[in-house]
Amino acid sequence: MVNQTAVTEFILQGFSDMRELQVLHFMAFLVLYLTTLMGNFLIIVTVVLVHHLHTPMYFFLAVLSLVDACFISSTVPKSMANSFMNDNRISFWGCVGQLFVVVACTTAEVALLTVMAYDRYVAICHPLQYMLIMNWDSCFQMASAALVLSVINGIIQTANTFRLQFCWSSVVEQYFCDIPQLLKISCTDTKFNEIFTSVCVLTVGFFCSVFILVSYSYIFSAVFKIQSGQGKYKAFSTCIPHLTMFSLFVFTVMFTYMRPQEMLSPSVDMLAAVLYAVLPPLMNPIIYTLRNKDIQEALRKRKFLNSI
């Protein structure tokens, strides 16, 4: 067997071998990428500059936007460059770095969405104690813990994946380096990696899902007790989009990482990867903030987005 240090590059799978479709893929991803960056950085700048948005909810939204910008930047630019240059190669260390950022950002996304659910629970169920519980020290600690744990998980998963040897094939059946596809082309026993990855994903996904479901059971119970129809609408408008995107993100990630290798399909993997690596960073600014009246008003006053 060839030692993994002899592997100098991998070949990422493109969306098509036809030049016309490669150009179309480049243009489509370029639009998505620029739109996502603009939306997320607009949120960050607005939250930083507008004083009345200096609240825990918008602080977590700004952190989530930063993670989203890093998340989509770890995969889409390389995929666009590959299509534009008609060259799907990525260096060994480039693949290592890409996998680390993808895993870290995926973990951070789930962790921050869980923290945001707790923030909504405190705001709706304990409004009089909100600023006492969600003080700035607590907010910074929760955000820091989410990011630190994400980095640690990224290091562990990346090291565990690249301890393997790759000697049968260097073709990664995905448009970026991801764990299931790398395990598939390894020429060493990957059973431990499959079990370890599945256990980690299941543990994190189960804990976060249960935590969020319990939080929302209390939230909905409190909302239904609100007499005002406008009050119920405002509460639901901040909760339903968050719950929807969390469900889509978690189930897509679990579907991607927990399937056995025999069930891997390039076309399905491509679709699943777009759903959890491109769609959330694109949609999060829209559903969380650009449809939020406080953000809209701040953007109007700053003349950032007069069309809203």
* pLDDT recorded at residue 1: 41
Within-domain flag for 178: yes
> Could you give the angle at which helices 19-49 and 56-73 cross, rounded to 10 degrees?
160
What is the count of structural domains for the chain? 1
CATH code of residue 76: 1.20.1070.10
pLDDT in tens, 92-116: 999 999 999 999 999 999 999 899 9
Within-domain flag for 125: yes
CB proximity list for 49: less than 8 A, separation 6 or greater: 302
Question: Residue 153: which domain range?
Answer: 4-302
Within-domain flag for 308: no
* pLDDT recorded at residue 229: 67
pTM of the predicted structure, to 2 decimals: 0.86
CA distances from 159 to 77, 147, 184, 212 (A): 24, 18, 16, 30
At 25, list the tokens. 């893929």
pLDDT in tens, 124-171: 888 889 989 999 999 999 999 999 999 999 999 999 999 988 876 788
Q: Is the pLDDT of residue 304 over 60?
A: no
The answer to whether residues 166 and 90 touch, using CB atoms and an 8 Å cutoff, is no
CA distances from 189 to 8, 99, 255 (A): 21, 20, 22
Within-domain flag for 307: no
Within-domain flag for 64: yes
The answer to whether residues 83 and 23 touch, using CB atoms and an 8 Å cutoff, is yes
Within-domain flag for 119: yes
Residue environment code for 297-308, b if the CB has 16+ CB neighbours within 10 A, otherwise e:
ebbeeeeeeeee
Within-domain flag for 176: yes
At 284, list the tokens. 């999060």
Within-domain flag for 78: yes
pLDDT in tens, 19-65: 888 889 899 999 999 999 998 998 898 888 888 888 898 899 899 99
